[in-house]
A and B are shown apart, each in its own frame.
Chain A
Amino acid sequence: MKLKLHVWRQNGPKDQGIMETYEVPNVSPDQSFLEMLDDVNLALAKDGRDVIAFDHDCREGICGMCSQVINGVPHGGQERTTVCQLHMREFKDGDEIFVEPWKARAFPVIKDLVVDRGALEKIMQAGGYTSCHTGGVADGNALPIGKEIADYSMDAAECIGCGACVASCPNSSAMLYTSAKVAQLAVLPQGQVEAHRRVMAMTETAKEQGFGNCTNHYECQAACPKGINVKFIAKLNREYMKALFK
């Protein structure tokens, strides 16, 4: 099939940036979205033009590197799907596709579709860990965790930190990301030691990094390629209140 691509081109964080249009012939429906972009880049390189810069790593939907807003939706709007797992069969011949980077003050554009998501790491560094001494590898079942709690924690831990929640949020808030990182530890015994400090430090860092405030639009959950639920934001709010009135 034949497609018309409108791609955001921007030469660094200070550059204005502009949408450029590319005609893409011979797109296979079996290609992934990134493979289609690879083909576009091959053609651009052949012509001696600047290739489109975009982030990718595992191409298996688990690393959280791919970060493109496709037709106005982070990761393209297919439920629980990262850009690398989005296939061209979802589009039809003659489609016009808009490809843009994550847009948020906390995510400066490095080039084209590549943004610096280091701000998410700063939130993680502020408290997304446990520092209690756990000793050697514990015997199996030495520390029993109920199935429901284990499932809850693992559901939160499914977050791959891609930043789609920020990109989809009208306020560019990182609250879903932060809440997943808080909630995954908050229900486990290992997470109790620093529970109060963690929620305060992580939410404070999110603010310092320039992310907006959560106003419960719930866009994040709809855009999240891992389906992280906004119930974790309610959990973060409870953890915050516990820390506040401790």
Chain B
Amino acid sequence: MQLTQSSVGRKIIMAVTGFVLVAFVCVHLLGNSSVFIGANAINAYAQKLHSLGPFVWVFRLVMLAAFAIHIIFGIQLTLENRAATPDRNVQIKRLKTGFGAETMIVSGLVMLAFVIYHLLHFTVRVTNPEIYVPLGDHGMVDVYVMIVNGFHSALPVIVYLVGMSFLFLHVSHGFQSLFQTIGLSNDKSLPVMETISKLVGVVLLVGYISIPLLVVFGLIKI
């Protein structure tokens, strides 16, 4: 009750689910980067994941729960915060906060839209069914070919560029924010964490967009 209804309790829930999500995007990037090594590497990585069987679904459910909780409380807290300031000053000059921090709800909702598109694109295989070719006889898909084909049209490339830019905005505020929320910050560590937070955002942005860009520029090809 206290945890899910109070101001600080929900903030802690946002931090913990946020940590799960940011840890996921880091590991996901690490896994994806096997595409830089070559077709065999990323296909072996995909096969390894599939061989985990039911654990894949346990993992997916945990991620779905963290994602849903993060979104629901994020929207609820944002609405409460808007209601706490019904009318604003004519002149407002911000001294410390940044664009990323002020647009968390926007970047968050863009991320939600992006994740839906991303799943339809590469997981549920709805948007571009033509990009899939089978690999072997076990119902596996050639992931390397899927990635290269997946970024042959302009729309997905643009969606990924925009989506990852908003991920950068969201993480550059959110990462340091979570440490403050779970009480792991002090006056010495906070400025350092703010810099690290932006760095994490940049690494994720560069890492993720490099895959569609390298396909566009023909450096990752079949």
A104, B85: Cβ atoms under 8 Å?
yes
With contact pairs A171-B85, A200-B2, A217-B96 given, residues A236 and B8 touching in the complex (Cβ less than 8 Å): yes
Contact of A122 with B by CB under 8 A: no
Contact with B along A196-234 (1 / 0, CB 8 A): 000010011011001111111111011100000111011
Please report the C-alpha to C-alpha distance between residue A9 and residue B12 in the assembled complex, in whole angstroms: 40
Contact of A94 with B by CB under 8 A: no
Chain A-chain B contacts (Cβ-Cβ < 8 Å), number:
134
Stretch among A28-36, A46-54, A65-73 lining the B interface: A65-73
Contact of B38 with A by CB under 8 A: no
Give the residues from 130 to 148 in chain B that come closer than 8 angstroms, CB to CB, to chain A: none
Residues of chain B lying within 8 A (CB to CB) of residue A71: 91, 93
Number of interface residues of B (CB under 8 A): 42
When C-beta atoms are compared, the residue in chain A nearest to B10 turns out to be: A213
Residues of chain B lying within 8 A (CB to CB) of residue A200: 2, 6
Chain A interface, DSSP helix/strand/loop, else mixed: mixed
A-B interface, 10 closest residue pairs, ranked by CB to CB distance from nearest = A212-B84, A72-B93, A238-B183, A171-B81, A222-B95, A72-B91, A217-B97, A172-B84, A212-B81, A237-B183
Q: How far is the CB of B161 from the nearest CB of chain A, in Å?
A: 27
Number of interface residues of A (CB under 8 A): 50
Q: How far is the CB of A123 from the nearest CB of chain B, in Å?
A: 12
A219, B95: Cβ atoms under 8 Å?
yes
Contact of A240 with B by CB under 8 A: yes
Please report the C-alpha to C-alpha distance between residue A231 and residue B188 in the assembled complex, in whole angstroms: 9
Q: How far is the CB of B220 from the nearest CB of chain A, in Å?
A: 38
B95, A213: Cβ atoms under 8 Å?
no
B101, A105: Cβ atoms under 8 Å?
no
